[in-house]
Amino acid sequence: MADIINLLPDNLANQIAAGEVIQRPASAVKELLENAVDAGATEIQLFIKDAGKELVQVIDNGSGMSDTDARMCFERHATSKIRSIDDLFHIRTMGFRGEALASIAAVSQVELKTRRAGDELGSFIEIDNSVIKRQEPCQAPFGTSIAMKNLFFNVPARRNFLKSNAAEMRHIVDEFIRVALAFPHLQFSLNSNGQQMFHLEKGSLKQRVVNILGQHYNAKLVTVRETTDYMNIHGFVGKPETAKKTRGDQFFFVNNRFIKSSYLNHAVMNAFSEMIPADSYPLYVLFIDLDPAHVDINVHPTKQEIKFDDERILYAFVQSAIKHALAQFSVTPALDFDLDPGIQQLDALTQPFTEQKKVQSANTSIYKTFTHANQAHVIDKSSNSNLQHWKELYGEPARPDNDHAPAPPETPLSTASVIDERWQEAATDHKVPVQVHQQYILSQIKSGFILIDQRAAHERILYERYQKALAEKPMATQQSLFPQTLELLPADALIVSEMLPDLQALGYDLEPFGQHTFVVRGTPADIQTGNEQASIEGLLEQFKHFSSELKLNRRERLVRSIARNNAIPPGKVLGSREMQNIIDELFACATPNVSPGGRFTFISFKLNDLEKMFERGM
């Protein structure tokens, strides 16, 4: 029988390998920018056309290349960074495997111009599908210009998998920002379709952070700096008040290389615990420097996932450094007492404090103890003291010796009376629903009762309402008396721009207002005024959450996002009419039993099941 194993042709092998490195235009942007940094450039320009599908070009003033090096750099595994296996464990450059340019040349048409400072002429190379079509001397400024044109022109199936221009541009901006933050001493610019999106002059790290993330952070950054023999950390965290509902302002760099690490992110979140709400995310731009021998960056083609020889040390170090920085700058959490809403309805707060009650209060020993001069330390030990029940009130109640033990006295500040009143009201009118723990709605039905999850139910109601608005009639908008200016991260601004027509159909009145900025003139009529910015930030966070679900199209993600973001949260006290409205609207839905995400909105309890539980009729 004939042999069946053959070597792949070089161009096909290159295309397969390119799939690991160049997944989208942003992948090429990352590799080309990092090559420019490795070349010692001080000025780096990025030009984009058609979200990188037509053109990605990087021009730098770095060291340039000789004729031979210009040709060799497109060969697979051709690199100037590694000579032996030991070099692999002491990497300090951004690139080292020699895959980037070979991968780019395998899936696009490439033009390269390069010249070293001491050479009279530079070199021009044209490559098409890994094949060098032309190489000749040329006039060129010192440095390198490399243009990647018509990405995936020879792999149309992969080109079809690219997202919309706005989505691909978001990825490009993300990669640009990561490299620009890592090297604030270099000048960077980004031009898209002839318009300049960024021009970042050389400066300090703080200047670079403020220029990229927004001028409003200028006075709200806390410096982090700790030095040890094992590792160093420096950078900034935002003060607690800058925490947002959306991710995006979180950057970790190890030896100037951007990384993704949920483990180290958890260390930061722990350092901010009790300072920010649980569903918020603090800003941080942190750089960790340590011996490359303790890090393995060669575990993923993008090099964004790396391994440490001891993650626990890093975790403790990061957490400690941030806590120390926040304490040093007197950033401490404010006490936030969660007041039971039932207390607001007690007689002590709702009834007038009459003259008779004033006299009665003034005659008590506790009043005298805290009002007579120099007597605050005196405690009346007599049996008539009003303090004798304090231990009973706040300590553990004594266990009765037998079933005939007397019942403990009623707690003066108990909210039981409030709850009893609600149950009595429900008993007199079977249609009045009752809220349980500010999370659930209990409503009686003929066969028993149902327990409704108020948030899941409201999410289902809003979801169907918004679906109808997009399909049929746009929702009403309530105009803001004082329009707000919303400044977003560049990537978030691209998301909003892409969704603008659908947002307007859902009741948002947004208008672009300069770079990365929008004016919010109105919001859907069912959203409380004054929460415009928080509403849109929460919507963005939910949209990013749903973006990982490939089965959902953009409109579906938007509708689910806005429904989840605007649904009433657990803990919100609802009146009888509000609860009844939720019940009526829920059962008017096409699918009332589950939320858009598939959670049950209610559970029913049958009367005969209750009778069995209480052993009635047995």
Last residue in a domain, options 175, 200, 225? 200
Region label for 214, one of left (φ > 0), alpha (ψ between -120 and 50) or beta (otherwise): left
What is the per-residue pLDDT for 344? 45
- pLDDT digits over 244-281, tens only? 877 778 999 988 889 888 888 899 999 998 888 887 88
Contacts of 304 (CB under 8 A, 6+ apart): 258, 259, 260
Q: Is residue 67 part of a domain?
A: yes
Q: Percent of the chain beyond pLDDT 70?
A: 72
What are the backbone dihedrals phi and psi of residue 131, each rounded to the nearest 5 degrees, phi first? -105, 125
Q: Is residue 351 part of a domain?
A: yes
Q: How confident is the model at residue 471 (pLDDT cuts 50, 70, 90)?
A: confident
Q: How confident is the model at residue 154 (pLDDT cuts 50, 70, 90)?
A: confident
Selection from 337, 333, 336 nearest residue 240 by Cα: 333
Last residue in a domain, options 183, 200, 217? 200
Confidence check: pLDDT of 330 > 90? no
What is the per-residue pLDDT for 530? 63
Q: How confident is the model at residue 73 (pLDDT cuts 50, 70, 90)?
A: confident
Number of neighbouring beta carbons within 10 Å of residue 146 = 23
What is the per-residue pLDDT for 346? 53
Selection from 41, 157, 34 nearest residue 98 by Cα: 34
What is the per-residue pLDDT for 219? 87
What is the per-residue pLDDT for 399? 44
What is the per-residue pLDDT for 498? 83
Among 5-14, 131-140, 560-569, the least confident range: 5-14
Confidence check: pLDDT of 238 > 90? yes
Alpha-carbon separation of residue 104 from 58, 178, 384 (angstroms): 13, 20, 89
Better-scored residue on pLDDT, 181 or 217: 181
Number of domains in the chain: 3
Q: Are residues 242 and 128 in the same domain?
A: no
Q: Are residues 479 and 505 in the same domain?
A: yes
Task: Indicate which CATH number applies to the domain containing 514.
Answer: 3.30.1370.100
Which of 166-170, 458-462, 477-481 is the most confident on average?
458-462
Q: Is residue 388 part of a domain?
A: no
> What is the rounded distance in angstroms from the CA atom of residue 500 to the CA atom of residue 318?
39
Confidence check: pLDDT of 124 > 90? yes
Average pLDDT over residues 174-199: 93
What is the per-residue pLDDT for 84? 52
Q: Is residue 81 part of a domain?
A: yes
For residues 295 and 306, is the Cβ–Cβ distance under 8 A?
yes
Q: How confident is the model at residue 411 (pLDDT cuts 50, 70, 90)?
A: very low
Which of 5-14, 59-68, 358-367 is the most confident on average?
59-68
Task: Indicate which CATH number applies to the domain containing 36.
Answer: 3.30.565.10
What is the per-residue pLDDT for 396? 44
Q: Are residues 362 and 475 in the same domain?
A: yes
Q: Are residues 449 and 556 in the same domain?
A: yes
Whole-number average pLDDT of the chain: 78
What is the per-residue pLDDT for 451? 92
Contacts of 361 (CB under 8 A, 6+ apart): 367
Average pLDDT over residues 574-583: 91
Q: Are residues 272 and 358 in the same domain?
A: no
Average pLDDT over residues 92-102: 62
* Residue 353: burial class (beta carbons within 10 Å; 0-12, 13-18, 19+): exposed
Q: How confident is the model at residue 425 (pLDDT cuts 50, 70, 90)?
A: very low
Q: Are residues 149 and 263 in the same domain?
A: no
What is the per-residue pLDDT for 419? 38
Alpha-carbon separation of residue 52 from 144, 165, 306, 491 (angstroms): 19, 8, 27, 15
Task: Indicate which CATH number applies to the domain containing 279.
Answer: 3.30.230.10
What is the per-residue pLDDT for 478? 81
Q: Are residues 257 and 164 in the same domain?
A: no
Average pLDDT over residues 375-390: 50
> What is the rounded distance in angstroms from the CA atom of residue 294 to the CA atom of residue 574?
55
Last residue in a domain, options 179, 200, 221? 200
- pLDDT digits over 429-447, tens only? 456 899 999 899 999 888 8
Confidence check: pLDDT of 126 > 90? yes
Q: Is residue 485 part of a domain?
A: yes
Q: Are residues 74 and 95 in the same domain?
A: yes
Average pLDDT over residues 411-419: 38
Confidence check: pLDDT of 223 > 50? yes
Q: How confident is the model at residue 339 (pLDDT cuts 50, 70, 90)?
A: very low
Q: Are residues 574 and 561 in the same domain?
A: yes
- pLDDT digits over 497-544, tens only? 888 888 888 888 888 887 778 888 888 877 766 667 777 877 887 777
Q: Are residues 111 and 239 in the same domain?
A: no
What is the per-residue pLDDT for 361? 67
- pLDDT digits over 5-26, tens only? 877 776 666 666 665 668 889 9
Q: Is residue 185 part of a domain?
A: yes
Q: Are residues 432 and 543 in the same domain?
A: yes
Q: Is residue 338 part of a domain?
A: no
Confidence check: pLDDT of 492 > 60? yes
Confidence check: pLDDT of 82 > 50? no
Range of the domain at 140: 10-200
What is the per-residue pLDDT for 459? 92
Confidence check: pLDDT of 407 > 50? no
Return the SS3 of 228. Answer: coil
Q: Is residue 409 part of a domain?
A: no
Q: How confident is the model at residue 350 (pLDDT cuts 50, 70, 90)?
A: low
Q: Are residues 194 and 283 in the same domain?
A: no
> What is the rounded distance in angstroms from the CA atom of residue 350 to the CA atom of residue 157?
70
For residues 67 and 45, is the Cβ–Cβ distance under 8 A?
no
What is the per-residue pLDDT for 337? 42
What is the per-residue pLDDT for 423? 38
